């Protein structure tokens, strides 16, 4: 597998992980973590980092080896076998499993070795092992490869995501109003106070992307306030509205 194919595979895993998270595509995320199979692929990650950042809309790309892997282990006693064998001692075995290193138990079981736990010696089939995703990550896997996105979104990233959604809204209004691609506009936006601050942080980005010569982020709009090309609304998670009005400059 060459670098291009690796990038395609990991980007696909990242998109699947994003879909699981149910976070909007335009919402930037803090990081994408990749778990690869071969030594050369660990070095290749640095070379395809920018491609993955752009494809997945993330701020950073990390190697899963830096955090000990993407998937942990959930180990439980196999009650069907251990119940008749140990009776009331099953509770002690459960506690011993909880206190032990899950990775070591999984490794021993995978190797067919006896699992030694605080006075108990268990056979590999006497424990149930499930691979589980790390907390706060959405993970997708594919034949030894895995990709995950961090699902915790900071206030700064939320603000950037809102700005991107507003730009999408404005671009749609430009098209529906018949403006040429090169036409510059005057732009008015009204929104809840908490959103206004977020958009102000990204005012230059909004103006640049939409070709706005004048941008008013604290506008008071009504249906007859302005002769505008169009007015539309963007629903926010808290039920609020962002209203946009524009006209050709």
Which one is predicted more confidently, 115 or 177?
115
Q: Closest Cα partner for 167 from 234, 221, 227? A: 234
Q: Closest Cα partner for 41 from 88, 91, 2? A: 2
- Calculate mean pLDDT across residues 126-146: 88
Q: Closest Cα partner for 13 from 28, 35, 29, 31? A: 35
pLDDT tens digits, one per residue of 147-200? 999 999 999 999 999 999 899 989 988 988 888 999 999 999 888 888 888 899
**How many domains is the chain partitioned into structurally?**
3
Q: Is there a contact between 80 and 50 (Cβ–Cβ < 8 Å)?
A: no
Q: Closest Cα partner for 74 from 55, 94, 51, 49? A: 94
User: How high is the pLDDT of residue 227?
Assistant: 47
- Calculate mean pLDDT across residues 5-14: 95
Task: Indicate if 124 and 178 belong to the same structural domain.
Answer: no
Task: Indicate if 87 and 192 belong to the same structural domain.
Answer: no
Task: Indicate if 141 and 240 belong to the same structural domain.
Answer: no
Task: Indicate if 61 and 175 belong to the same structural domain.
Answer: no
Write down which residue in 153, 188, 217 finishes a domain. 153
User: How high is the pLDDT of residue 68?
Assistant: 77
Task: Indicate if 184 and 239 belong to the same structural domain.
Answer: yes
Burial class from Cβ neighbours inside 10 Å (0-12, 13-18, 19+) for residue 31 reads middle
Query: Which structural domain range is residue 175 located in?
Result: 156-248
Task: Indicate if 101 and 53 belong to the same structural domain.
Answer: no
Task: Indicate if 31 and 149 belong to the same structural domain.
Answer: yes
Q: Closest Cα partner for 64 from 40, 38, 32, 39? A: 32
Q: Is there a contact between 129 and 100 (Cβ–Cβ < 8 Å)?
A: no
Q: Report how far residue 103's alpha carbon sits from residue 74's, in angstroms, rounded to the nearest whole number.
A: 9
Greatest alpha-carbon pair distance for the chain in Å reads 82
Task: Indicate if 104 and 174 belong to the same structural domain.
Answer: no
Q: Give, for 190, the enclosing helix (H) or strand (E).
A: strand 185-190
Task: Indicate if 163 and 236 belong to the same structural domain.
Answer: yes
- Calculate mean pLDDT across residues 5-9: 95
At residue 12, does pLDDT exceed 60?
Answer: yes
Write down which residue in 91, 125, 153 finishes a domain. 153
Tell me the pLDDT of the chain averaged across its residues: 88
Task: Indicate if 139 and 20 belong to the same structural domain.
Answer: yes
Distance from the first to the final alpha carbon of the chain: 52
pLDDT tens digits, one per residue of 14-43? 999 999 999 888 999 999 999 999 999 999
The number of C-alpha atoms within 13 Å of 234 and in the hemisphere containing its C-beta is 23
Task: Indicate if 145 and 43 belong to the same structural domain.
Answer: yes
Instruction: Kindly state the DSSP code that residue 29 receives in the 8-state scheme.
Output: B
Task: Indicate if 184 and 215 belong to the same structural domain.
Answer: yes
């Amino acid at each position: 597998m060459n670098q291009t194919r690796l990038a395609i595979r990991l980007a696909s895993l990242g998109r699947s992980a994003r879909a699981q998270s149910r976070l909007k595509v335009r919402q930037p995320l803090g990081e994408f973590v990749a778990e690869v199979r071969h030594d050369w692929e660990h070095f290749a990650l640095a070379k395809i980092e920018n491609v993955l950042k752009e494809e997945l809309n993330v701020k950073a790309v990390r190697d899963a080896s830096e955090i000990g892997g993407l998937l942990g282990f959930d180990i439980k006693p196999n009650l069907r076998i251990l119940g008749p064998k140990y009776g009331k001692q099953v509770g002690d075995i459960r506690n011993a499993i909880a206190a032990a290193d899950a990775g070591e138990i999984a490794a021993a079981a995978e190797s067919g070795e006896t699992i030694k736990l605080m006075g108990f010696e268990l056979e590999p089939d006497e424990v149930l092992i499930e691979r589980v995703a790390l907390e706060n990550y959405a993970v997708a896997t594919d034949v030894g490869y895995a990709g995950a996105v961090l699902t915790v979104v900071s206030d700064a990233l939320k603000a950037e995501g809102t700005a991107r959604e507003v730009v999408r809204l404005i671009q749609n209004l430009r098209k529906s109003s018949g403006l040429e691609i090169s036409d510059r506009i005057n732009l008015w936006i009204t929104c809840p106070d908490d959103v206004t601050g977020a958009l102000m942080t990204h005012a230059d980005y909004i103006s640049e992307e939409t070709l706005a010569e004048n941008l008013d982020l604290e506008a008071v709009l009504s249906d007859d306030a302005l002769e505008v090309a169009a007015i539309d609304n963007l629903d926010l998670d808290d039920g609020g509205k962002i209203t946009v009005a524009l006209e050709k400059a």
